[in-house]
Structure 1
Amino acid sequence: MIEYRIETDTAGMRLDKLLRKRLPTVPVSHLFKMIRTKKVRVNGKRAQPEQLLAEGDVLTIRGDEKTLRGEDRPKVDRPPPPVDPSQLVILREDDWLMAVNKPSGMAVHTGSGITGGTLVDYVRAYLGPKAVRNDFTASPAHRLDRETSGVILVAKRRPAMVHFTEVFTHGLSKKRYLTLVKGKMTKESGVIDLPLSEHQQTAESKARRGVNMQDALTRWKVVKQSGDAALLSCAIETGRTHQIRRHLAAIGHPVLGDKKYGDFAYNRDVQARWGLKRLFLHAERIEFPHPDGSGKVAVEAALPPELRDVLKRAALLP
C-alpha cells in the first residue's frame, strides 16, 4: 500500500491528475479502475476522479508498491519499434472518443515483457499532437485481454474518461462477446453467477484477510451448436479479469484456444482440425451512453476472418 499526505504544493489538484503524476507507469484506465473499485481512498473514504485535494488530506492506494511505481518492470535498453497508425481499425470517432477494433495479439498497454506496439501506441501515433488535451492523454477507457479481439473504447478527453468510469462502475454499458467453447450445451441459454477471486490481489493482502471474492455474472446463449463445440453469445454484467474464460471453464465448457484456463489437449486437436491458432473470444458489440449526453450509442466489430474460417471448418457457418 502507498500513502501520501497532501502538502501545500499539491493542494487543489484533481485526484486523477495527482495519480498520473505520482504513478506515471500505471495505465490511465487502470488508475480510473482503481478509483471506481475503491482501491484509492481519500481520508479513508471513497474518492472521485475529479475530486479536488486539500492540504492535509491522506491519500491511500491499495496494491503492491513496487508494481505501482513501476520498479518491477524490465529495463529497456532501446526504444520500442515505431508503429504504423494506418493499421489502426477505427469503428467510430468523434471529439470525445474513439472505438477501435483491436486485433488478437495486440496488448492494450505496456506491461511485463511488452514494450511497444500496444493499442495505446497506435492510438497516440494516429492522433499525433491531438493525443494530448488539457494535460490529458488519450487512453483506453477499459481493457481487453491481449488475445481477445474486438471493440474497445478510447477516451480522447478527461471528461470522457470520467464519464466512462461512471458508466463501467454502475453497469450502464452492455457488452456482447462471441466465443467458441468445448462440448455440447444442454440448454439454449443460461446464467453463470459465480464469484471470482480478485485477480490483482497481492500476496500480503491474501495473507492478511484471505482471498477476496468478487461478484461476477455472465449470461450466455447458444448461437450454433455442433457435435463437440458450441458458438455462444455472452453478455457480462460485471467486468472481472478473464471473467468469461474463467466462468465457462468453471462449468466445463472452456473457451477454445485458451492457454490459461482451457483444455490443452482439445486445443491441440481443434488447431489440427480447424486451424484455430488463437483464443476464440471476440468483443462483438458495446452499447453505452455517449459522454456528450446525446443518448446511447452502439458499436459493433465483425468477427475476424481467421475466426470465421474456423467456424466454416467446424461446420458452424455455411
Structure 2
Amino acid sequence: MRCRFIWASRGKTVLSQAQSRIATNGIHIIYEDDSLVAINKEAGLLVHRSWLDKGETRFAVQLTRDAVGCHVFPVHRLDRPTSGVLLFAKNAVIARQLSEAFSAHQIEKSYLAIVRGFMPAQGRLDYALSFQADAIADKFADLDKPAQEAITYWQSLAQIELPFAVSKKHATSRYSLVRLLPETGRKHQLRRHMAHLFHPIVGDTSHGEGRHNRFFRQHYGCGRLLLHAQHLNFRHPLNNTPLQLTAPLDSQWHQLAQAFNWQCYLN
C-alpha cells in the first residue's frame, strides 16, 4: 500500500471550523448531518461507560447523544488519553457500513504526536502486535491469540533539541513532531509502534518513558498524552461524497507549538 502524506487531497470536501459548534454540555461537535455526527474528543474523556471507571460521570457517547437529541453509535475507538476526531452514526445501518469501512481500511486516519528523539524523515513500520490483555477488562479473553498485522506510516514534520539533560546519558533532549498514519487499527497501535521504534510518545504512561513525561509536566505544565487524531477522511455512506473531518488541537498543543516554534506544522 502506498504511503499517504497529503491530506487535503483532490476531491476532498474539507469542512471549515465555522461548521463546528460547542454544545451546551461542552461537547465539541465538528460535523453533523442526518446520518453522522463527529466530535473533537478531549483527552481523558471515556468513549462510553465502563465498569472499570465507576466514578466517571462524563462519556462521549452520552454527551453526544444529549447534544444532538438522538441515539448515537460509535463506529471506531479512541483511547481515553487520546484526543481528536471521534465519529458516530445515528442509526444501526450506517454504523454497520462505517464499521465495515474501517475494517476494510477505506477510512484514512491521520494523527499528530510528539515523540522522544529525532525520527527519520518518513517511513513505514510493519510490525505485528500480540494481544495485550488488561488484567481486569480482559481477564476472560483468549490470551493465545496470534499476533495481528499492524502497519503504520510516519512523516517527521519538525524537530527540536532542548538544553536539558532528561537522561543521564545525554546533555540535551531531542523531540520530534510526527504525523502518524495507521493502516490498521490495533489496540494501542500507534503508542506501541512508536515505543518499538524507541521513539515513545510523550505523555504515554503505559508505553512511554517516565523521565520525559515528568519533564513535560514540570517544564511545560503538560501531563497529557501528546497524541491527537487530527483528520478523518472517508466517503459518506449515503451519497459517496468525500469528507475530511478535522479536529482542532487544544491549548496544551498550541502552548508547546509556540514554545518550540512549531505553529506552522500543526495543520
TM range (shorter): 0.7 to 0.9
Q: Give yes or no for contact 1:181–1:231 (8 Å, CA) kept in 2.
A: yes
Once the two structures are superposed, what CA deviation does each residue of 1:217-236 show, in whole Å capped at 9, x if it has no partner? 01000111112000000100
Q: Percent identity?
A: 33
8 A contact 1:223–1:233 mirrored in 2 = yes
Give the CA deviation at 1:116: 2.4
Task: Tell me if 1:296 matches 2:242.
Answer: yes
- 1:76-87 paired onto structure 2 within 5 Å: 85-87=24-26
Contact 1:85 1:125 in 2 (8 A): no
1:205 counterpart letter in structure 2: D
Which structure's CA Rg is the greater one?
1
Q: Which runs of 4+ in 1 moved over 6 A?
A: none
Q: TM-score, normalised by structure 2?
A: 0.79
> How far, CA to CA, are the matches of 1:191 and 1:270 in structure 2?
28
- 1:154 correspondence with 2:98: no
1:212 aligned residue (123, 143, 146) = 146
SS in 1 for 2:80: coil
1:189 maps onto 2:122 in alignment? yes
The residue aligned with 2:186 is 240
Partner of 1:100: 39
Shift of 1:102: 0.6
Higher relative contact order (CA 8 A, sep 6+): 2
Q: Which residue of 1 aligns with 2:28?
A: 89
CA contact (8 A) 1:101 1:150 kept: yes
Cα distance in 1, alignment partners of residues 86 and 146 from structure 2: 27
Q: Deviations over 1:53-99 (max 9, x none)?
A: xxxxxxxxxxxxxxxxxxxxxxxxxxxxxxx8431111110000001
1:192-246, Cα deviation, whole Å (9 max, x unpaired): 110001245656633xxx3420000010001111120000001000001111000
The reply to whether residue 253 of structure 1 matches residue 193 of structure 2 is: no
Instruction: Tell which deviates more after alignment, 280-289 or 306-315.
Output: 306-315
- Alignment partner of 1:119 is 2:60: yes
Query: In the alignment, which residue of structure 1 is the partner of 2:175?
Result: 229
- Give the number of aligned pairs: 224
Is 2:198 the partner of 1:265? no
Aligned to 1:19: none
Partner Cα distance (1:117, 1:151) in 2: 17
- Kept in 1: contact 2:230–2:248 (CA 8 A): yes
Structure 1 gap ranges (5+): 1-83, 132-136
Partner Cα distance (1:236, 1:283) in 2: 11
Cα 1:257–1:204 shift into 2, 3 Å: closer
Quick check: 1:176–1:236 contact (8 Å CA) kept in 2? yes
1:146 counterpart letter in structure 2: R
Instruction: Confirm or deny: 8 A CA contact 1:178 1:284 kept in the other structure.
Output: yes
TM-score after normalising by structure 1:
0.67
Q: How many Å separate the matches in 2 of 1:204 and 1:116?
A: 27
Q: Assess if the C-alpha contact under 8 Å between 2:73 and 2:92 holds in 1.
A: no
Of 102, 109, 113, 2:48 maps to 109
Higher helix share: 1
The one of 305, 309, 316 equivalent to 2:251 is: 305
Quick one: distance in 2 between partners of 1:231 and 1:92?
27
Provide the aligned C-alpha RMSD in A: 1.7
1:270 Cα offset (Å):
2.1
Alpha-carbon deviation of 1:104? 0.6
Name the structure 2 match of 1:171.
105
**Rounded Cα–Cα distance in structure 2 between residues aligned with 1:264 and 1:231:** 19
Change over 3 Å in CA distance of 1:204–1:173 after alignment to 2:
closer
State the partner residue of 2:229. Answer: 283
| Structure 2: stretches of 5+ with no match in the other structure | 1-22, 162-173
Question: How far apart, CA to CA, are the structure 2 residues paired with 1:246 and 1:273?
Answer: 25
